[in-house]
Amino acid sequence: MAAETMLGQPNPLAISFFILFVLSTIGITYWAAKKVKGTKEFYAAGRSITGFQNGLAMSGDYMSAASFLGIAGLVATCGYDGLLYSVGWLVGWPIILFLIAEPLRNLGKYTYIDAVAYRLKLRPVKLVAGISSLVTVLFYLIAQMVGAGTLVQLVFGLPYESAIILVGILMVVYVLFGGMVATTWVQIIKAGLLLGGATVLVFMTLWHFGFSYGAMFSEATAQYGHSFLVPGSLITSPLDAFSLALALMFGTAGLPHILMRFFTVPDAKEARKSVFYATGFIGYFYILTVTIGFGAATLVGRSMVMSVDKGGNMAGPLLAEFLGGGVFLGFICAVAFATILAVVAGLTVSGASAISHDLYVGFMKNGVSDEKKEVRIAKIATLALGIVAIILGFLFKGQNVAFMVGLAFAIAASANFPALIMSLLWKKFTTAGAVASMITGLVLAVVLIFLSPTIWVDVLGNPTAIFPLKNVAIVSMTSSFAVGIIVSLAKKEEDAQRIYDAIIPRRYLGRGAE
Amino acid sequence: MVDKISEKDIVNDKEFKSLISKRNSIAVTLSIVELLLYFGFITLVAYNKPYLGKTISPTSDTTIGIPIAIGVIILSVIMGGIYAYWANTSYDASIKKIIERMEVE
């Protein structure tokens, strides 16, 4: 068993790998910058990405540090419970494919909000959805920034603050100069590195066990007992289990930065392909991370993993060090950092488009703006988001921000997903219904999480929580649907129903789709 | 090519209508299967942990819960593949045929 680790000291190999990644992505950004002329390039990479490339880029956008380091860490420390996350984070993808992909691609232009607002009144929908989209992105961003700062501190020996500033500057550079073109290629490279790195790590782990999962699970049982391979303490009540499941599944289908990727492909056919490839890559990756988690628990040891980081986030890197020494540790750490960098770039493009395309052009200008100005606003928004991300990274230093990814998923499932799916699939949905549903979902998700054990007890230190469940989606998401349905049925919107019928050719055939 | 025919003709075409409703019922059916698959798994997690904790054979330490969880992931990918394949070949081809037939008419 590894008695000590090089983690915590500057690792020259990790730094070299990382510099190589940064240089190549900056090179791509330089190349992309010449292509980015208008909104179509900035938001949607000129709709020139193929289904396969977009599948990789989607998985790159989705496989965040929370899934790479987080799931492996959760499995290494809690065993089976980690699998609940890998399953939950995957099962939303087929739903996206069956119900959302085609109409979203055919009706939208640059953001999922375009598709929500298509047959409703533009300004109110753009305002509320724009805010909720931005809030989702910001919570996700905080978790990534703090994760990046902590990781860099551990791996590169750089101070937390410089790491945050470095990440902030790089993400702004990618998006500001290269827009969605550069962001897409950063995602693709990162997805390749992450899938490749994790595959090697799993191969070496299984090598150790004579390529027998059974042997690995026997070793886990020998060390931690039978309960390590059974769902346990993470799920305290059945209601909490269902609530978590709802947030994981439908949150995926409401993440603005994922939904935005649908507009980078030319048509619905490529959109379907993208989701299928993304599901395959992500499913494969989650099976890898679970293996890495059990590998770390058995080979590195739970106490060693937890002594480096209480949350277990360093399980993957520690396993790499155990199996492949400093070189492999350096490589995996660089991959983890590249992962975070790519995800924040995707979040930045998405947040900037919520500000420029949805809030500025959609809400303030009623959908009318010249392209040059819109790109300029988007670039200013990018810069502003970079600064906000750095400030938030500083503010949340040393805080336990793991719940923020959960919060982002809860908001996505409660505020973004219900409005999107009802607008796409339900003829009687109205503007008032959409606005009421989004506000209900957003407010309930945020307020209930604040009152739940996650923040009220664990962060604020109160003895008992006001809202009993750790996961809020079962209340916030169902309320959002209920309010949307009741308000829509209360008052008919003739225009919304008329347009719903009129856009059938566009929705199914992509006629006139952008 | 598509633009020669009016949108109204397409929407009112019988064959188009039945194809669309076939597509929608396939999408809804698959979604329901996916939901049953996942929430079936969660129901076991919530109410029947001992079942998930059984070992797959008397000589093994591996619990049934592990292949079930991995199975949900793999089945989800396969169902996505089936839909994407069907939609990108058979469905798209049928749509094309209908449009071509209407152009001739």
In a domain, residue B54? The reply is yes
Q: pLDDT tens across A387-420, in order?
A: 999 999 999 887 777 778 888 999 999 999 999 9
Determine the pLDDT at residue B3.
55
Which of B34, B83, B84 lies at the smallest CB-CB distance from A91?
B34
Contact A472, A445 (CB under 8 A): yes
Q: What is the C-alpha R_g of chain B?
A: 22
Q: pLDDT tens across A297-327, in order?
A: 999 999 999 988 887 888 999 999 999 998 8
Determine the pLDDT at residue A269.
94
Average confidence (pLDDT) over A255-262: 97
Average confidence (pLDDT) over A44-55: 96
- Per-position b or e across B22-60, b if 16+ CB within 10 A of its CB: ebeebbeebbeebeebbbebbebbbeebeebbebeeeee
Alpha helices (H) along chain B: 7-12, 14-47, 49-53, 65-86, 92-104
A194-200 CB contacts, 8 Å cutoff, 24+ apart: A194/A60, A194/A63, A194/A68, A194/A285, A194/A335, A194/A338, A194/A339, A195/A59, A195/A281, A195/A284, A195/A285, A195/A288, A197/A331, A197/A332, A197/A335, A198/A68, A198/A285, A198/A288, A198/A289, A198/A292, A198/A316, A199/A288, A200/A324, A200/A328
Instruction: Report the domain count for chain B.
Output: 1
Q: pLDDT tens across A90-111, in order?
A: 999 999 999 999 999 999 999 9
A residues 81-110 closer than 8 Å to B (CB): 83-84, 86-88, 90-91, 93-95, 97-99, 102
B84, A272: Cβ pair inside 8 Å? yes
In a domain, residue B12? The reply is no
Query: Helices A402-411 and A431-451 meet at what angle, rounded to 10?
Result: 160
Contact A471, A235 (CB under 8 A): no
Residue A10 has pLDDT above 80, yes or no: no
Give, in order, the Cα–Cα distances in Å from A433 to each of A113, A277, A476, A487, B33.
15, 34, 15, 5, 28
Which of B27, B66, B80 lies at the smallest CB-CB distance from A93?
B80
What percent of chain A lies above the pLDDT cut of 90?
78
Rounded distance between C-alpha atoms, residue A347 and residue A171, angstroms: 9
Residue A1 has pLDDT above 50, yes or no: no
What is the number of H-type helices and E-type strands within chain A? 24, 0
Determine the pLDDT at residue A208.
94
Determine the pLDDT at residue A412.
97
Average confidence (pLDDT) over A57-79: 91
In a domain, residue B4? The reply is no
Contact A331, A32 (CB under 8 A): no
* Identity of the amino acid at A86: S
A241, B31: Cβ pair inside 8 Å? no
List CB contacts (< 8 A) between A79 and chain B.
none
Rounded distance between C-alpha atoms, residue A226 and residue B60, angstroms: 11
In a domain, residue B67? The reply is yes
Determine the pLDDT at residue A3.
52
Determine the pLDDT at residue A119.
94
A87, B41: Cβ pair inside 8 Å? yes
In a domain, residue B18? The reply is no
In a domain, residue B11? The reply is no
The single-letter DSSP state of residue A80 is T
Determine the pLDDT at residue A2.
44
Look over chain A and give the mean of its residue pLDDT values, rounded to a whole number. Answer: 93
Measure in Å the smallest separation between the Cα of A279 and chain B Cα atoms: 6
Average confidence (pLDDT) over A62-90: 91
In a domain, residue B17? The reply is no
Give, in order, the Cα–Cα distances in Å from B15 to each of A502, A507, B12, B102.
18, 17, 9, 11
Q: B69: domain range?
A: 30-104
Rounded distance between C-alpha atoms, residue B98 and residue A218, angstroms: 58
Q: Which domains are assigned to chain A?
A: 12-30+68-509 (1.20.1730.10)
Determine the pLDDT at residue A9.
75
Contact A357, A117 (CB under 8 A): no
Q: What is the C-alpha R_g of chain A?
A: 22
The single-letter DSSP state of residue A361 is I
Average confidence (pLDDT) over A46-51: 95
The β-bridge partners of B55 are B63
Q: In 3-state terms, what secondary structure has residue A115?
A: helix
Determine the pLDDT at residue B1.
45
Q: pLDDT tens across A198-247, in order?
A: 999 999 999 999 999 999 999 999 999 999 999 987 777 889 999 999 99
List CB contacts (< 8 A) between A83 and chain B.
65-66, 69
The single-letter DSSP state of residue A112 is H
Whose CA is closest to A258, among A408, A402, A382, A120? A408
Q: Which residues in chain B come in under a pLDDT of 70?
A: 1-5
Q: pLDDT tens across A168-190, in order?
A: 999 999 999 999 999 999 999 99
